[in-house]
Amino acid sequence: MAILPGFLAVSAPHSHAGEHKAWPCGPYAVSDELGGFRISGASGKGTRTDPIVIDEELDSPEPVTLTIRTTRPIVPFDPSGDYASGQLYLRINALNNSGEPWVEFEFELQSVLGQPSDDTDGLSFDQRNVTPDNIHSSTYAQYHRELRPYDRLLFKKGQVDPKHVAEFEYLVTDYTPRLAIYILQEPRVPVM
């Protein structure tokens, strides 16, 4: 590469195996940038009819954090899926590569990385809806939604064996829309 006087050498970014990637999904980008798991695919806009679908692989039962960023302007309650709206429908397909069965699986919202979302930040698992019809799992028969003091969603009464996939669906609402949210994901293994 020739470098002309007064100019910096610039090269295109390289892609290496194991690098983390941001996957564009409508007005959002989802990422495994904090490590511990891999996103193998993502699509959708985040609406009820076109949820963001994330295919991911977890190699251990250790907690991991999914990062979701807005990539377009925030227009509260916009139903088109063209803007970040404060309502984000998700479907997560989690492949158990940990070698251990998962007997429960918990999601925790964070508006600040490393700090559980609380009742004051506007972020929740559809807290205003007393009887949500948008929380489902292909593997777990029950869920428990903890709204105070933190925003957590625990799926239970089921098991995901190694090399099997669990599907989770839920709505995240953000009534003070922000540029990034974090979702801590924690598979739980049997206590010996």
pLDDT digits (tens, 9 = 90+) for 88-101: 999 999 999 999 99
* Residue 108 burial (10 A CB sphere; 0-12, 13-18, 19+): buried
Average pLDDT over residues 45-64: 97
pLDDT band with cut points at 50, 70 and 90 for residue 10: very low
Strands (E), the chain: 22-25, 28-31, 37-43, 52-58, 64-70, 87-96, 104-110, 123-124, 136-137, 142-146, 152-156, 165-174, 180-188
Q: What is the pLDDT of residue 44?
A: 98
Residue 21 has pLDDT above 90, yes or no: no
Mean pLDDT for the chain? 90
pLDDT band with cut points at 50, 70 and 90 for residue 18: low
The identity of residue 147, as a single letter, is: L
Q: What is the pLDDT of residue 16?
A: 42
Ordered by start, the domain boundaries in the chain are 22-188
pLDDT band with cut points at 50, 70 and 90 for residue 105: very high
Average pLDDT over residues 99-111: 98
Q: What is the pLDDT of residue 80?
A: 94
Q: What is the pLDDT of residue 1?
A: 37
